[in-house]
Chain A
Amino acid sequence: MSVGVLALQGDFREHADVLRSLGSEVTLVRRPEELASVTGLVIPGGESSVMDKLTRMFGLAEPLRAAVERGMPVYGTCAGLIMLADTVLDAIRGQQSIGGLDISVRRNAFGSQTASFETDLEVPALGEAPVHAVFIRAPVVESVGPMATALATIADGRCVAVEQGNLLGTSFHPEITGEYRFHEYFLQKVRSAAFRG
């Protein structure tokens, strides 16, 4: 049983390192046959418009959509969250998403890099200790539809983490702060999906 990390662009190595340190076997996914071999998938941080193009050019977009529909657990951070959103606001011309999360996400919602920041967040689903979160030209979830659940908001009330069934998404990057609880939470979904098999 191996967990995949989409490895077309972005900080996929950091995700692979976190998953390995939690005891998972990891497969880097760039081709449909690699996707077919994994029981869950992380879509990393990076540039969502580039990931969208490459997944379509190399025949991964449709298999990804099918996997999400089948109920495969998928966790997206930042660009990965955008890829999982049903609606993307401020997308580049022609940009598409895989979808699955009943949310609208605004790309690059805080402005240029000088507005990027780190802060502590309350995430009740992960326990009492706050999550230290890094937002880098980050998206925010502008509206959460009835199928999805908000897991965390920043001080001004905007939603930055969501869950819907086996899908999980965060605007920020636990993979670069040594915060393992989101990945553990995701791996629980992978294990119970495999058990139900």
Chain B
Amino acid sequence: MTDTTSTEQVDSAAQFGSSRVKRGLAEMLKGGVIMDVVNAEQARIAEDAGAVAVMALERVPADIRSQGGVARMSDPDLIDSIRAEVSIPVMAKARIGHFVEAQVLQALEVDYIDESEVLSPADYVNHIDKWNFTIPFVCGATNLGEALRRITEGAAMIRSKGEAGTGDVSEATKHIRTIKGEIARLSSLTKDELYVAAKELQAPYELVAEIAATGKLPVVLFTAGGVATPADAAMMMQLGADGVFVGSGIFKSGNPQERANAIVKAVAFYDDAKIIADVSRGLGEAMVGINVSDLAAPHRLSERGW
């Protein structure tokens, strides 16, 4: 599965696809905004506006939600056209458990795979065994146990899920607060209590003990789902996110270029209300949005994955 064509040319002792290399790319994305794009033109706008990476997909979550049907990995031609347009990292989504979509995305040489609840799950029991891949994976989580199970399966980056395609940030807030709160709680436990915590979190004891000792996840934690304004993005950063994914919020708004750039600035200066005020001026209409509380439970994407 490993593409080694370029390997030997560089260095016969070089190690590819190690945890450090996979987690390292996420470290470099910190303090940045990853934007959903559905074509090369949007990718160009995102790169020009200061996106740190783009997520290449056929439909943004708001359209997946309104059009319904099964949502799958994007057409390789679409991914290639976006890769050809920009030089920042390109991510793409595979369905939960769909390891062949992931193999295809690795062969297409995208930079990161999002094993995503926004697409229709392909396996309601198992996630992808992500250790089998050279390419790194980001996975969604609504709480610490889910994050740790994904890291155990090899995820090199976690994003709190939020409720994608709504423009309602309340679920994103809930998920990042839950993850941060559960980490803080672990730090206060004694060793005997950590054994029980590991059992409750359904995660390996060693990983739970490591988090209790360091007070943070061993991988980068971004926030996603419902972020639509510069203030939304800055709030996620103040709540402790390392960076932000913005899906429908940019290209479903009145002025994508300006809004994308404003969100980039708000993430860099997330603790400076004056700058956030300045960049929030005159952005035109935000995406219309749906209140999560109006969504019937079967339509909540964040409940996919376990």
Q: Which residues of A contact B (CB under 8 A)?
A: 7-14, 30, 45-47, 49-50, 53-54, 57-58, 78-79, 90, 92-94, 107-108, 110-120, 134, 136-137, 154-156, 173, 176-177
Chain B residues with CB below 8 A from A53, complex form = 50, 264
5 nearest A-B residue pairs (beta carbon): A113-B111, A155-B11, A117-B14, A112-B109, A9-B31
A107 to B88, CA, bound (A): 10
Interface string of B6-44 (1 = CB under 8 A from A): 110111111111101100110111111000000000000
Give me 23 A-to-B residue pairs in the complex whose CB atoms sit less than 8 angstroms apart, sorted by A's number: A9-B31, A10-B28, A11-B27, A30-B268, A45-B27, A46-B28, A46-B52, A49-B87, A92-B48, A93-B48, A113-B112, A114-B109, A116-B24, A117-B15, A118-B20, A118-B21, A119-B14, A134-B20, A134-B21, A136-B24, A136-B25, A137-B25, A155-B13
- Interface pair A112/B268, CB less than 8 Å apart: no
Chain A residues with CB below 8 A from B20, complex form = 118, 134, 176-177
- Asked whether any CB of chain A lies closer than 8 Å to the CB of B89, the reply is yes
Number of contacts between A and B (CB, 8 Å)? 142
- Interface pair B268/A54, CB less than 8 Å apart: yes
Chain B residues with CB below 8 A from A78, complex form = 28
A84 to B112, CA, bound (A): 27
A110 to B3, CA, bound (A): 13
Nearest Cβ on chain A to B178's Cβ, whole angstroms: 23
Given contact pairs A47-B32, A54-B268, a sample of 18 additional A-B residue pairs in the complex whose CB atoms are under 8 Å apart: A9-B268, A14-B27, A30-B269, A46-B31, A47-B52, A47-B89, A49-B47, A50-B264, A92-B88, A112-B110, A114-B2, A115-B7, A117-B10, A136-B24, A137-B28, A155-B10, A155-B13, A156-B9
A12 to B6, CA, bound (A): 30
- Interface pair B28/A11, CB less than 8 Å apart: yes
Check A156/B11 contact, CB under 8 A, given A30-B268, A113-B136, A137-B111.
yes
Interface string of B194-235 (1 = CB under 8 A from A): 000000000000000000000000000000000000000000
A63 to B11, CA, bound (A): 39
- Interface pair A118/B15, CB less than 8 Å apart: yes
Nearest Cβ on chain A to B127's Cβ, whole angstroms: 20
- Asked whether any CB of chain A lies closer than 8 Å to the CB of B135, the reply is yes
A58 to B48, CA, bound (A): 16
- Interface pair B24/A176, CB less than 8 Å apart: yes
Chain A residues with CB below 8 A from B74, complex form = none
Chain B residues with CB below 8 A from A156, complex form = 9-11
Chain B residues with CB below 8 A from A94, complex form = 48
- Asked whether any CB of chain A lies closer than 8 Å to the CB of B106, the reply is yes
- Interface pair A54/B28, CB less than 8 Å apart: no
Closest-by-CB residue of A relative to B48 is: A93
A180 to B20, CA, bound (A): 17
Nearest Cβ on chain B to A108's Cβ, whole angstroms: 6
Closest-by-CB residue of A relative to B88 is: A47
- Asked whether any CB of chain A lies closer than 8 Å to the CB of B170, the reply is no
